[in-house]
Amino acid sequence: MPELPEVQTVVNTLAPRILAARIDRVEVFRDDIIHPCGFDLPGNLTGRIVREITRRGKRIVFTLDNAQRFYIHLGMTGRLTLERDTPLPKHTHLILHTKTQQVRFRDPRRFGGVFWLGTDSNHDTMQDSMGPEPMLIRPNQLAQRLSKTTRAVKNALLDQHVLAGLGNIYVDESLFEARIHPLTPSNQLILEQIRRLNRAIKLTLRRALRHRGSTLQDYVDAEGGAGGFQKLHRVYDRAGEPCRACRHPIERIVLGGRSTCFCPKCQRR
Ligand SMILES: [Zn+2]
C-alpha cells in the first residue's frame, strides 16, 4: 500500500505537469469509487483549473480555482498516472482530461477512491480525525499521543488518528532504526525511546523520499516510475534473512492481522 513517501512522490511528479491546467472533460467508468455516493464529479470538475496539489497523510488533495477541494486515496493498489493516448488498461475508473494529457486513476482492488471535500470546513474530515504529520510532529507531541494507549507501539503507529501517513513498511523500518520492539506497549516507552523513535521516523521517511518510495507490487509515481527504497529495507519483507546490523535472522510475527518484521536482537523487549 502506498504510504507517505510514495504518495508524496506521486504529488511531486503530478503537480508540475497538472498545476494551472484546465480540466476539459471527466470520464467516470465506475461511480462507486466516488464519495459521497451519487456525487456529480464531472459536473463539479469540468472547466475548473487545478490550483494546488498537496499531500495530507496518505491522501492526494486537489484544490480547484473556486476553492473546492477533493482528494484521491490510492488504497492498496491504486495508481494515479499521467498518460497521453496510451491504451486504456483494465480497472481504470476515472480520467481527468486536460488539453494535452490525461490523469488516470486505476485501482484493481478498489480500496481507494475519490472523496469530495467542497469548501465547508465543517465537513473537512481532514482536520478532525487525522493525526499530525510525522515529518512535523515534535517529540513531546509524540510522547503525549503514545502515552494515551496501551496498544503495541506497532499498532499505535499504524493508526492514522495517532499519526498520519505511516503504514506497515515505514513503521517496521522506523522501529528497527529506533531499536524498539514492535510489541512494546505504547504507554511504557520511556522518553529516550520516544526521542529515538521521533528521529527514526523522520530519518526513515527522508531516506525513502530520496529513493522515491518503495515498489513491492503495484506502486508507481505519476510518470510510471518505480521506487527504489525496497532494496534498502532493513526488516520489512526480510523474514529469515540476516539482520544488516547483527546478522541475526529477521523475525516475522502477525500483529493485528498485519505482518510485522523485526530483529529480536537489535530490538529487545
Ligand atoms: Zn539485528
pLDDT score, position 123: 46
- How far is the C-alpha of 51 from the C-alpha of 64, rounded, in Å? 5
Q: Is 138 a known active-site residue?
A: no
pLDDT score, position 126: 57
pLDDT score, position 94: 97
Distance 218 CA to ligand 1 centre (A): 29
Mean pLDDT computed over 121-133:
68
Q: State the chain's mean pLDDT as an integer.
A: 95
Of the residues 2, 5, 134, 182, which is catalytic?
A: 2
User: Sorting pLDDT into bands at 50, 70 and 90, what band is 1?
Assistant: confident
Mean pLDDT computed over 211-220:
93
Q: Is the pLDDT of residue 121 over 80?
A: no
Mean pLDDT computed over 144-171:
97
Strand 92-97 and strand 102-106: the pairing is: antiparallel
Q: Is 258 a known active-site residue?
A: yes
- How far is the C-alpha of 142 from the C-alpha of 133, rounded, in Å? 11
Of the residues 58, 69, 154, 238, which is catalytic?
A: 58
C-alpha angle with apex 175: 142 to 128, nearest 5 degrees?
35
DSSP state of 139: H
Q: Is 3 a known active-site residue?
A: yes
Mean pLDDT computed over 251-255:
96
- How far is the C-alpha of 13 from the C-alpha of 225, rounded, in Å? 10
User: Sorting pLDDT into bands at 50, 70 and 90, what band is 129?
Assistant: confident
- How far is the C-alpha of 205 from the C-alpha of 228, rounded, in Å? 13
Distance 262 CA to ligand 1 centre (A): 8
Distance 235 CA to ligand 1 centre (A): 9
Give the rounded distance of the alpha carbon of 166 from its chain centre: 6
pLDDT score, position 163: 96
Distance 263 CA to ligand 1 centre (A): 5
Q: Is the pLDDT of residue 38 over 60?
A: yes
* The dihedral sign for the CA sequence 184, 175, 171, 56: positive
Q: Is the pLDDT of residue 140 over 90?
A: yes
* Structural contact between residues 74 and 107, judged by C-beta atoms closer than 8 angstroms: yes
Q: Is the pLDDT of residue 124 over 50?
A: no
Distance 211 CA to ligand 1 centre (A): 23
- How far is the C-alpha of 183 from the C-alpha of 203, rounded, in Å? 22
pLDDT score, position 256: 83
Share of the chain above pLDDT 90, in %: 92
Residue 11 — φ and ψ, nearest 5°? Answer: -60, -45
Of the residues 3, 173, 177, 251, which is catalytic?
A: 3
Distance 149 CA to ligand 1 centre (A): 27
Distance 175 CA to ligand 1 centre (A): 12
Q: Is the pLDDT of residue 16 over 90?
A: yes
Mean pLDDT computed over 60-78:
96
Share of the chain above pLDDT 70, in %: 97
- How far is the C-alpha of 25 from the C-alpha of 223, rounded, in Å? 21
Q: Is the pLDDT of residue 127 over 80?
A: no
Distance 261 CA to ligand 1 centre (A): 11
The size of the chain, in residues, is: 269
Distance 249 CA to ligand 1 centre (A): 8
Mean pLDDT computed over 35-54:
97
pTM equals 0.95
Of the residues 244, 258, 264, 265, which is catalytic?
A: 258
Q: Is 177 a known active-site residue?
A: no
